[in-house]
């Protein structure tokens, strides 16, 4: 069953058309990986779906709720409900530097979900333990490695119990040694059937974890299909040219 549906999505910055009539859907429990060269519109697509950018035209439906239809957005109370169903993990962590790990995870629970502080902290501590950071509740972002900061940001997103979790190049700010920490967390979430849309440059990871891969270039989807099929046996020449220029896959 589809949980996310995007139809005819377009987005421009003045004369630059970044997204060009894009359409795709994600099933509940599916992991979809979006790959493609820099500047192809991948991050803009995620930001548009999660309402960090306004689209020019198109329709976005999440869990049966219409966020925007034919370029016209839903009423503010509906938008709020839709946005609460989505979580976004940024490539540069975006943690509050003056908040402890615990507060980084509890703040939105208290302010957005109106949870009581004890309940929010219990949820935060459980998620930190799940991320292997149970002892870091009182630490500040500057005291953590990049991999640890990214795990805190994933815990923060999960704390709001989203229906779909979006990742925008979650390992791009990390060195290879720390990348493995984040990929393991995402593997574990995939095993739990968390619905995820992941923009990534890690081809071996996409092949292993994603159910489906979509190759994007110049604002359009050039090719999509089962992960191993697209990465190992691409049909389109543009996809082949992109993959051939990448370094050997690593995990």
Residue 142: helix, strand or coil by DSSP?
helix
d(CA 12, CA 22): 13
Contact 70, 9 (CB under 8 A): no
d(CA 84, CA 115): 14
Please report the pLDDT score of residue 172 as a whole number.
80
Q: Which residues are bridge partners to 4 per DSSP?
A: 26, 62
Q: What is the DSSP letter of 136?
A: G
Please report the pLDDT score of residue 251 as a whole number.
47
pLDDT in tens, the chain (251 residues): 899 999 999 999 999 999 999 999 999 999 999 999 999 999 999 999 999 999 999 999 999 999 999 999 999 999 999 999 999 998 888 999 999 999 999 999 999 999 999 999 999 999 999 999 999 999 999 999 999 999 999 999 999 999 999 999 988 877 877 788 888 899 999 999 999 999 998 898 899 899 999 999 999 999 999 999 999 999 999 999 999 987 655 44
Please report the pLDDT score of residue 22 as a whole number.
97
Contact 29, 40 (CB under 8 A): no
d(CA 86, CA 213): 20
Query: Is the pTM here over 0.85, yes or no?
Result: yes
Please report the pLDDT score of residue 247 as a whole number.
65
Q: Give the list of residues 6+ apart from residue 247 with CB closer than 8 angstroms, or none.
A: none
Please report the pLDDT score of residue 175 as a whole number.
80
């Amino acid at each position: 069953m589809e949980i996310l549906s995007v139809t005819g999505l377009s987005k421009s910055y003045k004369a630059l058309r970044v997204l060009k009539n894009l359409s795709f859907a994600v099933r509940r429990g599916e992991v979809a990986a979006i790959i493609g060269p820099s500047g192809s519109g991948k991050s803009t697509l995620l930001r548009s779906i999660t309402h960090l950018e306004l689209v020019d035209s198109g329709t976005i439906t999440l869990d049966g709720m219409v966020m925007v239809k034919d370029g016209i957005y839903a009423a503010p109370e509906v938008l709020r409900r839709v946005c609460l169903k989505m979580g976004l993990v940024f490539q540069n962590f975006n943690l509050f530097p003056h908040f402890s790990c615990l507060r980084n995870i509890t703040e939105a629970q208290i302010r957005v979900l109106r949870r009581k502080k004890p309940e929010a902290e219990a949820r935060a501590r459980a998620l930190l333990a799940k991320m292997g950071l149970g002892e870091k509740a009182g630490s500040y972002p500057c005291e953590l490695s990049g991999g640890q900061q990214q795990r805190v940001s994933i815990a923060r997103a999960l704390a709001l119990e989203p229906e779909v979790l979006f990742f925008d190049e979650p390992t791009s700010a990390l060195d290879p040694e720390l990348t493995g920490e984040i990929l393991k967390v995402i593997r574990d979430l995939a095993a739990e059937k968390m619905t995820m849309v992941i923009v990534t440059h890690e081809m071996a990871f996409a092949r292993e974890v994603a159910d489906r891969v979509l190759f994007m270039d110049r604002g359009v989807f050039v090719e999509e299909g089962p992960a191993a099929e697209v990465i190992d046996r691409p049909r389109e020449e543009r996809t082949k040219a992109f993959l051939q220029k990448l370094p050997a896959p690593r995990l």
